[in-house]
Amino acid sequence: MGVELVTSQLPKVFIARPPQGGIPDRLRAVAEVEVWPGDRPPSKAELIAHASSAEGLLTSVSDRVDLEVLNACQSLRVISNMAVGFDNFDIDEMTRRGIPAGNTPGVLTDATADITFALILATARRVLEANEALLNGEWTSWNASFMLGLELSGATLGIIGLGRIGLAVAKRAQAFSMRVLANSRTPRPYAGIENVSLDRLLRESDIVSLHVSLSEQTRHLIGKSEFELMKPDAILINTARGAVVDQGALAEALKSGTIGGAGLDVFDPEPVSLDDPIVTAPHVVLLPHIGSATVVTRTRMAEIAIDNLIAGLIGEPLPNCINPQVYGSR
């Protein structure tokens, strides 16, 4: 009598962006893995085509998982975002369908706070302008009024959103002997930080730094009327989400001299078009969304995102679940 061979088919996983460190063996042991090649993200049509039969999906902030994607990918049992933010997810619909969604909180706090302060220093001390002036041969001798900028010691930093990253930025500011104001949905008492209204923060701050998540309440939180409240030499820093700022209004505020400068690591949309008015606005430092771009942080983000993915595939609660109510409804 012949022996019947039974083969078990592993669940399929689609990874929309190659993670730092590659695909670990622990994921390949529990899933058939397909990884999107190249640097550009898949289009929505490409995402659907590759994830339509997948049970697990690993995304980045550039991959929008909305109702259209969810309807086309009926096999999904877990979705893991390699990011802290999840404004690219339709969380309500995922929860309604019982699909747990994961993110990577906490891991990028210091890296993002560092890049925030890099932007503060670069804009306040006109680092890129000075570098360009040197390369263009404009530095001919010492000049008492050449490339004057803002001295951080004694200046006021206004932080909008005093979560993990906002607080880490505040601590760095205190090391520079800066006065720190904060405006947050849930004020957190911390030595040396004064919690104030948004209007007061905008009026008194030399530098305003944004650290809120993107929601319908924070979309275009900072726009034309907010710029008009700020000092004419004030600097805006955004390492949160691009849509927290009205980007067109910011470009106009810079060109008109309503505010003095800006440092941006995020844009709306991303990547920013080279034809966007913000690119040619004066006194602006622009970075290509590198807030979490250290080897340590990106590697840890990938590890956490993959841990979330594996947990969902084997039927365990996600270590970092955005919508834990899905477990209570089962």
Q: Indicate if 76 and 211 belong to the same structural domain.
A: no
Q: Indicate if 132 and 237 belong to the same structural domain.
A: yes
* Per-residue pLDDT, 187: 78
Using pLDDT thresholds of 50, 70 and 90, give the confidence band for residue 40: confident
Q: Indicate if 169 and 259 belong to the same structural domain.
A: yes
Using pLDDT thresholds of 50, 70 and 90, give the confidence band for residue 328: confident
Using pLDDT thresholds of 50, 70 and 90, give the confidence band for residue 189: confident
Active-site residue, selected from the candidate residues 50, 126, 289, 298: 289
Told to judge if 17 belongs to the known catalytic residues of this protein, a careful annotator would answer no
Q: Indicate if 116 and 251 belong to the same structural domain.
A: yes
Q: What is the extent of the structural domain holding 305?
A: 12-107+295-328
Structural domains of the chain, count: 2
CA distance 40 to 57: 17
In a domain, 157, yes or no: yes
What are the CB-based long-range contacts (under 8 Å, 24+) for 196-201? 198/160, 198/226, 199/229, 201/158, 201/160
| For residue 59, pLDDT beyond 50 | yes
Provide the mean pLDDT of the chain: 95
| For residue 285, pLDDT beyond 60 | yes
Q: Indicate if 314 and 279 belong to the same structural domain.
A: no
In a domain, 150, yes or no: yes
| For residue 329, pLDDT beyond 70 | no
Q: Indicate if 182 and 90 belong to the same structural domain.
A: no
Using only C-alpha atoms, the chain has a radius of gyration, in whole angstroms, of 23
Q: Indicate if 211 and 233 belong to the same structural domain.
A: yes
From residue 23, give the alpha-carbon distance in Å to each of 28, 33, 49, 220: 7, 8, 21, 37
Active-site residue, selected from the candidate residues 32, 34, 93, 270: 270
Active-site residue, selected from the candidate residues 211, 241, 298, 300: 241
Q: CATH number, domain at 66?
A: 3.40.50.720
In a domain, 6, yes or no: no
CA distance 42 to 59: 10
Using pLDDT thresholds of 50, 70 and 90, give the confidence band for residue 5: very low
Told to judge if 270 belongs to the known catalytic residues of this protein, a careful annotator would answer yes
Q: Indicate if 83 and 122 belong to the same structural domain.
A: no
Q: Indicate if 29 and 146 belong to the same structural domain.
A: no
Q: Indicate if 271 and 312 belong to the same structural domain.
A: no
Q: Indicate if 279 and 185 belong to the same structural domain.
A: yes
pTM of the model: 0.90
Told to judge if 132 belongs to the known catalytic residues of this protein, a careful annotator would answer no
In a domain, 2, yes or no: no
Q: Indicate if 212 and 127 belong to the same structural domain.
A: yes
In a domain, 312, yes or no: yes
In a domain, 75, yes or no: yes
